[in-house]
Amino acid sequence: EIVLTQSPATLSLSPGERATVSCRASQTVGSYLAWYQQKPGQAPRLLIYDASYRATGIPARFSGSGSGTDFTLTISSLEPEDFAVYYCQQRNFWLTFGGGTKVEIK
Amino acid sequence: EVQLVESGGGLVQPGGSLRLSCAASGFTFNNYDMGWVRQAPGKGLEWVSTISDTGTSTYYGDFVKGRFIISRDRSKNTLYVQMNSLRVEDTAVYYCARAVSGSRWYFDLWGRGALVTVSS
């Protein structure tokens, strides 16, 4: 099983600031990595797939980068609606999710 | 409206069975692979199972160990998961999800989830 480790567990930032969330895989996943956003009481929402492609309707302030074992989700300038939990997910070998990073208001 | 609506959740005793359904609408259900993802209370996401658009191929997470069966009714635009030999640790919200076209391993449309509680 490929284990995905996200860091930090919690990120405390203010609106307008830049958010950077990391995801490290226990073995290479190529570019087969996605990012999801989940708000309390809601289902996850696909943001990024194949490491850097934005899903339909996702604002340009969300971007993804990386390959192999190290990946990054960047939110260039946090909007109030961006405070949520973010998960990475790999599809190179079956399907696993990271443990999540909570982006909270500072 | 494009949506997925789960039903069939509830309380079941350890060792019992439950079948979840997911009604799809607003898109051509038969053109998409579909899956189930679960989330235990206060925990992260865990992939449960995926089925191909034709229903001929099915895939399961390791923890399933032959206890769950995913299926679909293409005439009813409905996805199912039959869960047997349920354990306390299967307690979770179960989400139905549509796979990204051309990639059965990412999910771009999710239902609101169905809560399954396994407890005596």
pLDDT at B9: 97
Assign B104 a pLDDT band (cuts: 50, 70, 90).
confident
* pLDDT at B101 (0 to 100): 86
- Write the CA distances from B66 to B60, B83, B84, integer angstroms: 9, 9, 9
Distance from CA of A78 to the nearest CA of B (A): 22
Closest CB from B47, B95, B106 relative to A43: B95
Contact B62 A100 (CB under 8 A): no
pLDDT per residue over B40-70, tens digit each? Answer: 999 999 999 999 999 999 999 999 989 999 9
pLDDT number for residue B102: 79
Q: Which helix (H) or strand (E) holds B4?
A: strand B3-7
Half-sphere exposure of B51 (CA within 13 A, CB side): 22
What tens digit of pLDDT does each residue of A34-89 get?
A: 999 999 999 999 999 999 999 999 999 999 999 999 999 999 999 999 999 999 99
Task: Measure in Å the smallest separation between the Cα of B38 and chain A Cα atoms.
Answer: 10
Cβ-Cβ contacts under 8 Å for B61 (sequence gap 6 or more): A94, A95, B46, B47, B48, B49
Question: At A91, is the secondary structure helix, strand, or coil?
Answer: coil
Interface with chain B: mutation pick from A95, A97, A101, highest number of B CBs within 10 Å: A95
Q: How many CB pairs under 8 A join A and B?
A: 50
pLDDT of residue B65: 86
Flag if A36 and B113 touch (Cβ within 8 Å): no
What are the CA-CA distances from residue A66 to residues A10, B59, B75 (Å)? Answer: 21, 27, 41
Residue B12 pLDDT level (bands cut at 50, 70, 90):
very high
Residues 6 or more apart whose Cβ sits within 8 Å of residue B16: B86, B118
Q: Which residues of B are less than 8 Å from A34 in CB distance? A: 106
